[in-house]
Amino acid sequence: MRPNILDPVFAPLSRLSGVGPRLTMLFDRALEHPPGQSARIIDVLFHIPYDGIDRSLSQTIASAPYDQVVTFRAIVESHQKPNRHRGPFRVTVSDESGDVSLVFFNAKAEQIERDLPVGAYKIISGKLVLFDGYRQITHPDRIMPGSAESELPRVDPVYALTEGLTARRVHNVARAALERLPHMPEWQNNSWLLQQKWQSFGISLSQLHCPQQIEDLKEGNDAHARLAYDELLAGQITLSLVRSRMKQAKGRSTIGNDLITSSIRKQLPYNLTGAQERALKEIESDLAAPERMLRLLQGDVGAGKTIIGLLTMARAVEVGRQAVMMAPTEILARQHYERISPIAVNAGIKTALLTGRMREKEKKSILTSLANGDIDICFGTHALFQEQVMFKDLAIAVVDEQHKFGVHQRLALGSKGSDVDLLVMTATPIPRTLVLTYFGDMDVSVLDEKPPGRKPIDTRALPIERLGEIINGLYRALEKSARIYWVCPLVSESEFLEDIAAVEERFETLNQVYPGKVGFVHGKLSGDEKEKAITDFVNGNISILVATTVIEVGVDVPQATIMVIEHAERFGLAQLHQLRGRIGRGAESSSCLLLYKGPLGGNAKARIEIMRDTEDGFRIAEEDLKLRGGGDVLGTRQSGDPGFRLARMSQHSALLPVARDDARLLLERDPHLASERGQAVRILLYLFERDAAIKLLRAG
C-alpha cells in the first residue's frame, strides 16, 4: 500500500480548485496519459518547465534589447484603429527615452481601449522587434497597471504544451499542486546533499515551477539535478532489488558436453569472431554457475547475435532441458525459425514455431509437445509466456530485439520455470549510461566486431528534388537482379506533414515505372499481408519493397543491396542506422541513399553527416544520445528518456554511476530498508511508482 503521506499528490488533478473536465482533458493530452487514465497532481508536479522568460524591468524603452522578451513601464500615447478589413489595431506607448507600437490582430477595439486607455501608466511585457525602423511588440504577453510591479513574476516558466493549454495556466495549476505537496522525510544522504549544495525535494520542485531568476532554469541547474538524482536513485534501487532477487532465486548449473554445440559450429561457413567467442565464454560461465543468468548481449547490426543465441540454447538441449527464443514480431520469430531450424535439426535438436495466428489444432499439438518435452527449442513471440504455455523443463530464454522487456517481465519468467536463465539480445548499440539506466540489473556482453567478408555500405545524402532521377536510376540495379528497400515515414497523408510521401503513393509511382516488380508493407496491413509482401521480396517475386519502418528490426534479406530512405531528416540516428543495417548482409556491395528536404536544421544535418561518416553503431548511439536524449537510442520514443520523467541523460549522465553505487551500498547495509533512511527511501520508491521494488522487499 502506498503511504498515506503521498495521498494528496496521487489524487486526481480535478481535485484542485479551478480544474474542471475540459482542463483535465487538456492536461491528459499534454502529459500523454493513456486512454482511460486521468492526470494526477503528481503528474503536473513532474511536468517541469524546460525554459524561462526573464520579465525583469528594463530601465527605459531605449535600453530594452531587440529580438527578445522585454518588460518596461510606459504611458499610453494614442490608438490607431484598423484602416482596412482585418488590419491591425495599433497602440503607441512611450517613456522619456522613446516609444513602442503595440500591434493587435483580430482584436476587439473595446477590449483594447479598456485595457490600454490613453494616458494610462502601464507595465508592458513582450517580444520587442525593429520593424520598418520602428520598435514594435505584437500581442504583448502581459499588460499590467504601472503600480503592480510586485505582481509581476521575475521569471515566467516555459512548459511543453498542447493546443488549448497556455503556459500561464500550467503555471497556475502547478502552483496549486505545490500547495498539496506534503513535507516528506529526507531520503538522500546528508553529506551528499551538502557536497552538492542541493535543497530538499520540495524546495527543488518549487524552484523549478516558481523560479526567482532565469538561472534557476538553465541547463544543469541544481534543483533539476537534485530531482533527477532522486529519480535515478529510485530506478537503481529497483534494478538492484530485481538483480538480487534473480540472483538469489534457485538456479541450476548448465554444463553441456559440447556434442551439439560442436555440431552446430561445424555447419557454419565461417569462424566466430573474437567478440563472439568472448561473449560465449561469458554466457557459458553464467550457465555453469548455480545462480540464474541475467545477461544482455548487445551488438551492431550484422555482428552475429543470432548464432550466439542458438549456441546458448544448445547448451540447454545438451543437458536434456528446453529453451525458447522470443522475438517482438511474428515475422521475425518465423525468420529465426526458418534460418536456425535447419542447422539445429542437423545437430539433433527438435524445434517448433508457436505464433498467435496458428490453427488451433496445430497450436494444441505444439503445446502438448512442449509440456511433454518432445520439443527442445521453441521460437515465437511473447505469446510463449502466456498461461496455457507449459514446459517440461525450461532452462534458457533468449529474447531478441525487445527494448521494452523490462524488469516486470524479467521477474515474470519465474512462472515458466523456477530457474530460467535469461539472455536478452539487442541490435541497437546502447551507450554505457543507458545500459546502466535500463539494464543495470543485467551483466553485459558486447559484440564489437563484424564477421569477416562484410563490405562497407556506400551512404550518400541527396536532396528530394532528385527523386525522379533516382527512380529512373534504379533500372540499372534491377538489371543486375538487385533487391531494393524504399522507406517512407508515414502510411498515409497527414494534414500536419503533407509533404511526406505515403507508402501507397510511392508504391503507385514506382509501380508505373517498374510494373509488377514493386510491393509494399506497412503497419496497418494484417499479419498475413505483411508476411506475403516480405516473402515475395525474399523469393524475388518482387524486386522493390516500399515500406514504413516495420522493416527496421530483424528482416534479413541478403540479396537486398540498395536502401532508399525518403525524408531522412525525419528519422532519428539510431533508426537510420537500423534501417541501413537491412542491407550489406550479403557478398555484394550495397548503397544507402538518404533523401532529404532542405533546408536542414542543425540536428538533422548532424544526423545525416554522422550517417555518411561512419557505420560504427556504438559511435552512432553515443552521438544520438548527445543530439536527442535516450529515447530514440532505445527505439521507444522519438526523443527524451523513456521511463524517466525528470532525469535527462544528456544533462545528468554523470549522476548515474553515483546513484548505482549509492543504491548498492544502501541495500548492503539495510537490505530491508528498515532504518530511518530506509523508511524514507520507501517513500521515494512509491513517489516514482517503483512499486515492483516494494513487492520484492516484502517477498524477501
What is residue 139's three-state secondary structure? coil
Averaged pLDDT for residues 291-320: 90
pLDDT at 325: 93
* Confidence at residue 440, expressed as pLDDT on a 0 to 100 scale: 67
Average pLDDT over residues 61-66: 94
* CB 536, CB 511: distance < 8 Å: no
pLDDT tens digits, one per residue of 253-305: 999 999 999 999 999 988 999 999 999 999 999 999 988 888 889 887 778 89
Confidence at residue 643, expressed as pLDDT on a 0 to 100 scale: 58
Evaluate if residue 520 carries a pLDDT over 70: yes
The residue behind cell 499479419 is 527
H helices within 542-647, ranges in order? 573-580, 602-613, 617-628, 630-633
Main-chain dihedrals φ then ψ at residue 488, nearest 5 degrees: -115, 150
pTM, 2 dp: 0.67
How many other CB atoms sit within 10 Å of the CB of residue 258?
Answer: 12
Q: Where in 281-376 does DSSP place strands (E)?
A: 294-299, 322-326, 351-354
What is the domain partition of the chain in residue ranges?
A: 1-54+161-182, 56-152, 191-248+662-700, 263-447, 457-615
**Are 56-152 and 457-615 the same fold in CATH?**
no
Q: Which residue in 39, 50, 7, 6 sits closest to 173, CA to CA? A: 39
Q: What is the mean pLDDT of residues 346-363?
A: 91
Single out the residue of 439, 114, 504, 194 nearest to residue 294, CA to CA.
439
Encode pLDDT of 450-469 as tens digits: 777 678 899 999 999 999 99
Assess whether pLDDT exceeds 60 at residue 492.
no
The DSSP letter of residue 40 is: B
Q: What is the pLDDT of residue 65?
A: 94
Model pLDDT, residue 384: 80
Q: Which class for 96: exposed (0-12), middle (13-18), buried (19 or more C-beta within 10 A)?
A: exposed
Q: Report pLDDT for 401.
A: 66
Residue 641 has pLDDT above 50, yes or no: no
pLDDT at 414 over 70: no
All residues at 6 or more sequence positions from 410 whose CB lies less than 8 Å from its CB, including other chains: 242, 246, 294, 422, 441
**Residue-wise pLDDT tens digits, 103-127:** 999 888 899 999 999 999 999 999 9
**Among 592, 572, 570, residue whose Cα is nearest residue 581:** 592
Instruction: Please provide the DSSP assignment of 448-460 as one string.
Output: --PPTTPPPEEEE
Output the pLDDT for position 692.
67
What CATH fold (topology level) applies to the domain 457-615? Rossmann fold (3.40.50)
Looking at residue 575, its pLDDT comes to: 82
Count of residues for the chain? 700
Amino acid residing at 130: L
Q: Tell me whether strands 89-95 and 98-104 are parallel, antiparallel or unpaired.
A: antiparallel
Query: pLDDT band at 636, cuts 50/70/90?
Result: very low
Q: Tally DSSP H helices, then E strands, for the chain.
A: 25, 21
Q: Does residue 291 come out as left (phi exceeding 0), alpha (psi in the -120 to 50 range) or beta?
A: beta
* Helical segments of 347-427, H only: 360-372, 407-412
Mean pLDDT, to the nearest integer, of 71-98? 92
Inter-residue contact 34 to 20 (CB < 8 Å): no
Q: Write out the E strands in 342-406.
A: 351-354, 377-380, 394-400
Give 649 or 132, the one with higher predicted confidence.
132
Could you read off the pLDDT of 172-214 as tens digits, one per residue? 999 999 999 999 999 999 999 999 999 999 999 999 999 999 9
Q: What is the CATH number of domain 263-447?
A: 3.40.50.300
Class of 56-152 in CATH: mainly beta
| Burial call 545-569: b when 16+ CB within 10 Å, e when fewer | bbbbbbbbbbbbbebbbbbbbbbbb
Q: Output the CA torsion 226→228→229→234 (10° steps).
A: 130
Question: What is the pLDDT averaged over residues 683-692?
Answer: 88
User: How far apart (Å, rounded) are the C-alpha atoms in residues 22 and 164?
Assistant: 10
User: CA–CA separation, 37 vs 10, rounded Å?
Assistant: 12
Residues 6+ apart with CB under 8 A from 561: 477, 482, 483, 484, 583, 584, 586, 588, 589, 590, 591
Task: Flag the least confident range among 337-351, 588-602, 640-654.
Answer: 640-654
